[in-house]
């Protein structure tokens, strides 16, 4: 190439681009190739020379044609390094002295330029070495792979202050090219997403060769099918240099320089500098890669150890006790400790469209147990029910999936939802939230949660089976206790107390009531009532038509209220002096052909507290209790009738004794004495009197009188007006 560091035409300075065939084409090329001074005194001489040597005409400056030209080659160290050309518009403008002057100046200029080039070459080499040394020092102390990228990129940005400095790394597994470092004008960092290698980048990866485009970038872009890396700049680079990063025989990426303003900006020295840096950087990148790989393996080992620790904790919990909630709490605490994040554990509710929040922490605070709706229309639900883990790395992604915050909690920035499956059945899911970072959950975190969820599902399913057996055993124990109570005692209130105490013990509740229905008055009599573990004394009350208790008695069907809102809607209000329950069950006590009363169980701590097992237990107990209480009622009724019969028999005995005495003697006073003695005997008393009223005389005769067992003498008297005897 021929460059034009200085060109003036008729006083106007020009900056033409370098031209090809500098030593071959044109009059200048002829002068340099022959190392001879050429003098032309007219345009005719120039054209004749061009025809003779087959040289095309070319105007370097403006449109005004000169007639006289002087071409003097620049020769230094026996090497042509350039040319001085002087032109004038007039013909025959250069004399011998003019030619000698230009040749003398050209000779001095050749030596000066050679010295300057040597000095600049040394200075350029010193600058290259300084850059390489600075980068290598940075690389030597940096084992973080992104740190290597930043060290090299920042140093190149200091040297090449204009344009784009870039480092691209190829991932052969995904076939993606990652733009790990991109800076504009040595300051602004650009963030370009990964993409499949294409265009010039793909060419460098494929061939492993340096690619320098110093001009006609549009043509080169078409040749390599390249597109701009920074479309938001609305500028296409004018020049670009791309040097491959090699590790062994493999091209791992490239260093790139792009100038947005100038062509022919990158020199051989720039190419050499980038190639030297690429060689040093490749070694550093391989060391950093090996270090990262070691760190990754260490982290995977630590993560695996954490997984094993959590799994071991689960199994210890299972081995120590099969208590369902204890396992949930143990696993939740261990996961929070391991992940340093909030954790939630959800279990499928028996009715299918709800989910129990058994364990939840947010910002280090335990949340109350809740029952939530599981809505199939939420985009995240379908994959989880199919056994797929759902990861949402941003708040926006969570909202797209329907993963909105539970009422009373904050929306997180990252979340992972892992299903719990056992025997091919969805049982529930685990969640972990990060409220500070997006994309907080790495592959190892997800894998650990999946391992824990799998083990936990089996453990909880076993615990549920154990609890079901224990629940059944509890039902049998209560039924047995009731039967023992029936066989040991037919006392009505005793049976009520026994059943109430046993149910409170088994259900672990301090809130239970047993009411008895009087069909004559329609009143419900609270025979047994506890709230918060304290015995209550409640008055009988009349349930109005439409009230749930009235309907339970009428239909003999139980009612379950899972929330306060359901109770309020049905007209259930707290009794004066008591609290409103969060969950409530009314279970009819049925005997013979009617409802004898209502068994009531409440929970003041959580909604939807009563599941299928609790309802089944209460139904069994209520049925057995109805038989027992009906038997006790019949026994009491029999006892009452027996007592009435005994009393009637005593009456008849007295009457019979009196009649026998009357029949034995017809003496008036004798009959009075016989009756008096018999009555004192029957009533076991020493105080009795028999008086006779003589209406004609208005006299009361005391025919028989005993006081403290002593017989008093006969007397007669006329009663005064106003006395009892007189009335």
Residue 335 pLDDT more than 70?
A: yes
Binned at pLDDT 50, 70 and 90, residue 127 comes out as: low
Cα angle 91-94-96, degrees, rounded to a multiple of 5: 145
Question: In this predicted structure, which of 87-91, 312-316, 449-453, 550-554 has the lowest mean pLDDT?
Answer: 312-316
Max avg pLDDT among 34-43, 202-211, 280-289, 632-641: 202-211
Per-residue confidence (pLDDT) for residue 348, from 0 to 100 = 87
Choose the weakest-confidence range: 170-179, 186-195, 409-418: 186-195
Residue predicted with more confidence, 603 or 651? 603
pLDDT tier at 727, thresholds 50, 70, 90: very low
Over residues 451-479, the mean pLDDT reads 76
- CA dist 79 and 23 (Å) reads 12
Across the range 612-619, mean pLDDT stands at 83
The share of the chain scoring above pLDDT 90, in percent, equals 20
* pLDDT value of position 138: 58
Q: How many residues does the chain have?
A: 727
Q: Is 91 exposed, middle or buried (0-12, 13-18, 19+ CB in 10 A)?
A: middle
Task: Tell me which of 606 and 492 has the higher pLDDT.
Answer: 606
pLDDT bin (cut points 50, 70, 90) of residue 587 is very high
pLDDT at 574 over 50: yes
Q: For 519-536, give the DSSP string.
A: TTT--EEEEEEEETTEE-
| Percent of the chain residues past pLDDT 70, beyond the cut | 83
* pLDDT value of residue 444: 78
Q: Does the structure show a pLDDT above 70 at 490?
A: no
* pLDDT over 80 at 132, yes or no: no
pLDDT of residue 559: 93
| Least confident piece of the model among 235-249, 301-315, 394-408, 606-620 | 301-315
CB-based burial of residue 314 (10 Å sphere; 0-12 exposed, 13-18 middle, 19+ buried)?
A: buried
* Long-range contacts, 171-178 (Cβ 8 Å, 24+): 172/250, 177/201, 177/205, 177/253
Q: 77 pLDDT exceeds 90? A: no
Q: Does 23 score more than 60 pLDDT?
A: no
CA dist 642 and 639 (Å) reads 5
At 392 the pLDDT is 93
The mean pLDDT value of the chain amounts to 81
Tell me: pLDDT of 531 over 80.
yes
Which of the two residues, 568 and 444, has the higher pLDDT score? Answer: 568
Please give the distance of CA 48 from its chain centroid, rounded to a whole number.
Answer: 88
Q: Is the pLDDT of residue 58 over 50?
A: yes
Contact 210, 275 (CB under 8 A): yes
For the cut 70, the answer to whether the pLDDT of residue 108 exceeds it is yes
Burial per residue of 188-226, b for 16 or more beta-carbon CB atoms within 10 angstroms, e otherwise: eebebeeeebebbbbbbbeeeebbbbbeebeebbeebeb
Interval 344-376: pLDDT, tens: 999 887 766 788 888 989 888 888 877 788 888
* pTM of the shown model: 0.41
* Largest separation between any pair of C-alpha atoms in the chain: 200
Higher-confidence position of 633 and 158:
158
Q: For the residues 676-692, what does the mean pLDDT come to? A: 88
478, 506 contact by CB (below 8 A): yes
The answer on pLDDT for 237 being more than 90 is: no
User: Between residues 441 and 284, which one has the greater pLDDT?
Assistant: 441
Strands, sheet with 68-76, edge to edge from the N-terminal-most edge strand: 38-40, 68-76, 79-88
Find, among 227, 232, 205, the residue nearest to 217 by Cα.
227
Q: Is it the case that residue 297 has pLDDT exceeding 90?
A: no
Distance CA 202, CA 542 (A): 88
């Amino acid at each position: 190439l021929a460059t034009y560091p200085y060109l003036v035409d008729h006083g106007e300075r020009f900056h033409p681009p370098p031209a090809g065939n500098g030593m071959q084409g044109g009059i200048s090329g002829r002068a340099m190739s022959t190392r001879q001074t050429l003098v032309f005194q007219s345009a005719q001489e120039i054209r004749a020379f061009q025809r003779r040597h087959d040289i095309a005409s070319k105007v370097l400056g403006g449109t005004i044609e000169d007639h006289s030209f002087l071409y003097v080659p620049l020769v230094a160290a026996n090497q042509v390094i350039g040319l001085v050309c002087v032109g004038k518009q007039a013909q025959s403008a250069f004399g011998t002295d003019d030619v000698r002057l230009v040749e003398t100046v050209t000779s001095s200029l050749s030596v000066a330029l050679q010295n300057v080039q040597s000095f600049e070459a040394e200075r350029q080499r010193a600058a290259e070495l300084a850059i390489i040394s600075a980068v290598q020092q940075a690389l030597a102390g940096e084992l973080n792979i992104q740190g290597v990228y930043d060290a090299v990129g920042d140093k190149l940005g200091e040297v090449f202050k204009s344009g784009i400095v870039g480092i691209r790394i190829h991932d052969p597994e995904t076939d993606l090219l990652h733009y790990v470092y991109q800076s504009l004008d040595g300051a602004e960092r650009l963030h370009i997403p990964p993409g499949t290698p294409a265009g010039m980048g793909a060419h460098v990866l494929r061939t492993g060769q340096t690619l320098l485009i110093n001009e006609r970038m549009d043509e080169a872009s078409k040749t390599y099918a390249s597109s701009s890396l920074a479309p938001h700049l609305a500028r296409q680079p004018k020049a670009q240099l791309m040097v491959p990063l090699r590790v062994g025989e493999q091209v791992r990426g490239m260093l790139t320089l792009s100038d947005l303003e100038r062509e022919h900006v990158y020199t051989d020295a720039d190419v050499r500098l980038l190639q030297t840096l690429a060689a040093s950087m490749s070694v550093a990148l391989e060391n950093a890669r090996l270090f990262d790989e070691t760190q990754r393996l260490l982290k995977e080992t630590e993560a695996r150890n954490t997984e094993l620790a959590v799994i071991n904790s689960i199994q210890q919990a299972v081995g120590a006790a099969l208590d369902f909630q204890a396992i949930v709490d143990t696993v939740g605490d261990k996961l929070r400790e391991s992940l340093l994040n909030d954790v939630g554990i959800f279990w499928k509710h028996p009715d299918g469209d709800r989910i129990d929040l058994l364990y939840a922490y947010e910002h280090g605070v335990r949340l109350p147990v809740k029952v939530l709706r599981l809505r199939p229309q939420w985009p995240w639900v379908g994959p989880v029910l199919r056994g797929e883990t759902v990861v949402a790395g941003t708040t926006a992604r969570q909202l797209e999936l329907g993963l909105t915050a539970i009422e009373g909690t904050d929306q997180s920035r990252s979340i992972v939802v892992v299903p719990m499956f056992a025997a091919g059945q969805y049982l529930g899911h685990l969640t972990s939230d990060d409220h500070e970072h997006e994309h907080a959950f790495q592959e190892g975190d997800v894998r650990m949660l999946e391992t824990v969820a799998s083990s936990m599902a089996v453990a909880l399913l076993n615990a549920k089976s154990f609890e079901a057996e224990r629940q059944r055993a509890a039902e049998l124990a209560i039924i047995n206790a009731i039967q023992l109570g029936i066989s040991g005692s037919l006392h009505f209130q005793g049976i009520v107390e026994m059943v109430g105490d046993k149910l409170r013990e088994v259900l672990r509740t301090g809130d239970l009531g047993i009411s008895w229905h009087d069909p004559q008055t329609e009143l419900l009599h609270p025979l047994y009532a506890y709230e918060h573990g304290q015995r209550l004394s409640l008055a009988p009350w009349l349930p109005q038509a439409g009230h749930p208790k009235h309907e339970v008695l009428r239909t003999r069907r139980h009612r379950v209220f899972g929330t306060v809102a359901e109770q309020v809607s049905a007209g259930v209000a707290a009794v004066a002096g008591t609290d409103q329950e969060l969950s409530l069950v009314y279970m009819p006590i049925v005997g013979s052909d009617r409802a004898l009363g209502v068994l009531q169980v409440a929970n003041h701590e959580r909604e939807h507290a009563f599941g299928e097992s609790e309802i089944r237990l209460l139904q069994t107990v209520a049925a057995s209790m109805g038989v027992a209480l009906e038997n006790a009622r019949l026994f009491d009724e029999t006892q009452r009738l027996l007592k009435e019969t005994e009393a009637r028999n005593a009456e008849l005995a007295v009457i019979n004794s009196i009649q026998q005495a009357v029949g034995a003697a017809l003496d008036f006073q004798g009959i009075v004495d016989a009756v008096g003695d018999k009555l004192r005997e029957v009533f076991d008393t020493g105080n009795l009197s028999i008086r006779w009223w003589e209406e004609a005389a208005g006299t009361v005769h005391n025919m028989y009188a005993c006081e403290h067992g002593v017989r008093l003498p006969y007397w007669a008297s006329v009663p005064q007006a106003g006395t009892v005897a007189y009335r």
